[in-house]
Structure 1
């Protein structure tokens, strides 16, 4: 039986069962579960309280991570929640809630990642795809985001990188410079056609 409900600050309550402290819970659980002094609480209700509390704590932990750093994908958040010791059921429920409310959007993450790369470390589609796969983004989302990259823009990015890089090859024979530039652009994820077009522009035959 609930024998007392005390305010615990920060929108929390301390719930007492049979005159003993039971648990600190979110204050809105009073209305969500109809908690009141004198209420006889069944085992099933206690289980539901504990499960709902874990989901809330997992969600709050994930939201705090997202506020600290906006580079968390869904798989990364799941990894962090597992490391924190939350149950799989609690993790799944909290992640579903965060997705439903728009806190987790892997498409938004992917777009931000591409923009960040464009500004600091430009990459071609192939490398961007690999990086996003390694981040745990699903292929359908990756394909959708990459399809929005304009081919002309990718070509201009590759050309800009090549013009900067080729300055280091001035003392090399042409065939060596071509081989090195080809490797440089390929390693950065640019496709064959893009690489060939850039080679023709920056290195004379």
Structure 2
């Protein structure tokens, strides 16, 4: 087959028309890389390589555009690309390039997200791990980035009871209200064992303060 014309289409995009009527819209870099020009004879394999290179460039630039606005996990970005480009080999190749260049890094993403979940939202380990995995982070990475916060989880749990739930924890015998507080803390991602221990220590501390006064 033959390329019968090559003309600037818009900006750095060119229109290359084939003798079978098909038109390709290619970036100037693709035109240069393949030496595309009017009158050029190309076979089917070369055409496939041109189309692949063009799609790869579009997908890669699209990923970089998205990354200008926020970080993505591998899973999130792959999902965005496959939604638009439909080709698993193409999207996998783009993701390989993105990870090689450090644009996609699940450990870095998980570390930043873990800090926010623990230090700002004060979620427990279970909730933090679940939130990370919902973003496509593997369970192993989630556990690794959360490991340094083992002491902080306990501190956060006690702080939540002193601030967010203190008005409900006024009567040690009010089992109904205490169970509601425990349920709320479970939703925060703490397990019953640590919650029960925290509630016990909370009331013991409150009683000690009363005795001192």
Most deviating of 6-15 and 36-45: 6-15
2:209 pairs with 1:188 = no
Identify unmatched segments of 5+ residues in structure 2.
Answer: 208-213
1:163 and 1:42 mapped to 2: Cα distance? 74
The DSSP-based 3-state class of the residue aligned with 2:132 is helix
2:48 and 2:55 mapped to 1: Cα distance? 11
2:169 aligns with: 169
1:35 aligns with: 36
Residue 110 and residue 54 in structure 1: after superposition, are their counterparts in 2 closer, same or farther (change >3 A)? same
User: How many positions carry a matched residue from both structures?
Assistant: 203
2:117 aligns with: 117
The question of whether the paired residues in 2 share the 8 Å contact of 1:185 and 1:195 is answered with yes
1:140 aligns with: 140
The question of whether the paired residues in 1 share the 8 Å contact of 2:125 and 2:146 is answered with yes
Q: How does 1:12-27 map to 2 (within 5 A)?
A: 12-18=13-19, 22-27=23-28
Q: CA deviation at 1:10?
A: 3.9
Q: CA deviation at 1:146?
A: 1.5
Q: CA deviation at 1:161?
A: 0.9
1:22 and 1:86 mapped to 2: Cα distance? 21
1:101 and 1:7 mapped to 2: Cα distance? 31
2:190 pairs with 1:153 = no
Q: How does 1:55-70 map to 2 (within 5 A)?
A: 55-70=56-71
Q: CA deviation at 1:110?
A: 1.4
Residues 156-176 of structure 1: CA deviation (Å, up to 9, x unaligned):
111111112132333673444
Q: Could you say which structure has the larger radius of gyration? A: 2
Q: CA deviation at 1:68?
A: 3.1
2:52 aligns with: 51
Most deviating of 5-14 and 105-114: 5-14
Moved over 6 A (4+): none
1:101 aligns with: 101
Identify unmatched segments of 5+ residues in structure 1.
Answer: none
User: Cα RMSD (Å) of the superposition?
Assistant: 2.7
The DSSP-based 3-state class of the residue aligned with 1:189 is coil
Residue 170 and residue 10 in structure 1: after superposition, are their counterparts in 2 closer, same or farther (change >3 A)? farther
2:8 pairs with 1:11 = no
Q: How does 1:68-79 map to 2 (within 5 A)?
A: 68-70=69-71, 72-79=72-79
1:97 and 1:10 mapped to 2: Cα distance? 26
Question: Normalising by structure 1, what TM-score?
Answer: 0.81
The DSSP-based 3-state class of the residue aligned with 2:181 is helix
Question: Normalising by structure 2, what TM-score?
Answer: 0.79
